[in-house]
Amino acid sequence: MGGICEGRIVIVTGAGHGLGKAYALGLAAEGAKVVVNDLGVGTYGEAGVGASAAQQVVDEIRAKGGEAVASYADVADFEACKGIVQTALDHFGALHALVNNAGFVRDRMFVSCTPEEWDAVLRVHLRGHFCTSRHAVDYWRAQQKAGKPIDARIINTSSGAGLQGSVGQSAYSAAKAGIATLTLVQATELARYGITVNGLAPNARTRMTETAFAEQMKPKENEFDIFAPENMAPLVAFLCSEASRDITGQIFDLRGGRISVALGWIDGPTIDKGARWQASEIGAAVRDLVAARPAPKPVYGGG
């Protein structure tokens, strides 16, 4: 089909709907061969909802002249994730990029969140990123050890909720914050193997945003749809391409046509007494530090 990803072989998880579907279609339009992974669960992780979603996306890609294959593996099942990578190798002979996108929500105020809900959300998001990435990296390292040059990509999905928090989404926010930090560590550790790692904090309309932000994200008639999932696809295509080999360890925020890069945690104002603080005196110093720091972005939904 031609494009910036011509010849690249890419796995996209959670690609049956929303952002993942937009990524898969966008990558295929740019020439990539795509493994469309989707377990077929609902917004809350419930089973048996649209199990054919991955195949439908594959059919759409093929109808437009692209190449794709479906995968139905659970991204949080470590052994099953080996099969996702193997699907790419069996059908296309290689793997160049992994887009970790799969996830669901269990929105709940912290005081109402159950251990089961907490574990389910961290499992699919944080463990899911680990399982898929480990098997992809195992393949790339083996290729490098065999003397083959590697120019590989991992694209992780964090969130504004992970970078600044979101009321009613403590588990989701914690998982996405973990993914942001995981991205930094992976980028640093994996550079020696020819693997870049970047993250996304998407601003787009998906099944997950329908639970909390449906009204705010409605498309407006005769206006540019800034929350269309397709807006994110060109950035993902670039990050999966050979052209992005000098970009790593970044978290990108894209909303409509506005793209920004997150600064993350950086050292702020400092006071050094040069000796141990007394508990009775440290309060004044803490208040001075808080007053001197730039105002942080507010927690989503915090008023």
pLDDT exceeds 50 at position 13: yes
Q: What is the pLDDT of residue 176?
A: 97
Q: Which CATH class is domain 9-261?
A: alpha beta
Residues in CB range of 105: below 8 A, 6 or more apart: 43, 44, 121, 169, 172, 208, 211
pLDDT tens digit sequence for 228-287? 999 999 999 999 999 999 999 999 999 899 999 999 889 999 999 999 999 999 999 999
231 in Cβ contact with 254 (< 8 Å):
yes
**Cα separation, 128 vs 121, whole angstroms:** 10
pLDDT tens digit sequence for 17-35? 999 999 999 999 999 999 9
Q: What is the pLDDT of residue 45?
A: 47
Q: What is the pLDDT of residue 291?
A: 96
**Taking the C-alpha atoms of 293, 296, 302 and 303 in order, what is their torsion angle to the nearest 10 degrees?**
80
**Cα separation, 168 vs 113, whole angstroms:** 9
Residue 299 phi/psi, 5-degree rounding, is -65, 135
**Cα separation, 165 vs 162, whole angstroms:** 6
Q: Can you give the C-alpha Rg of the chain in angstroms?
A: 21
Average pLDDT over residues 50-63: 90
Which position has the token pair 């790593």? 248
Percent of the chain with pLDDT over 70: 91
Number of C-beta neighbours around residue 65 at 10 A: 10
For the chain, give every domain's residue range.
9-261
pLDDT tens digit sequence for 121-179? 999 999 999 999 999 999 999 999 999 999 999 999 999 999 998 999 999 999 999 99
Which position has the token pair 């498309």? 219
Length of the chain: 303
Just list the catalytic residues: 159, 172, 176
**Cα separation, 254 vs 236, whole angstroms:** 11
Percent of the chain with pLDDT over 90: 80
pLDDT exceeds 80 at position 204: no
Angle at 251 between CA 245 and CA 255, to 5 degrees: 110
238 in Cβ contact with 101 (< 8 Å):
no
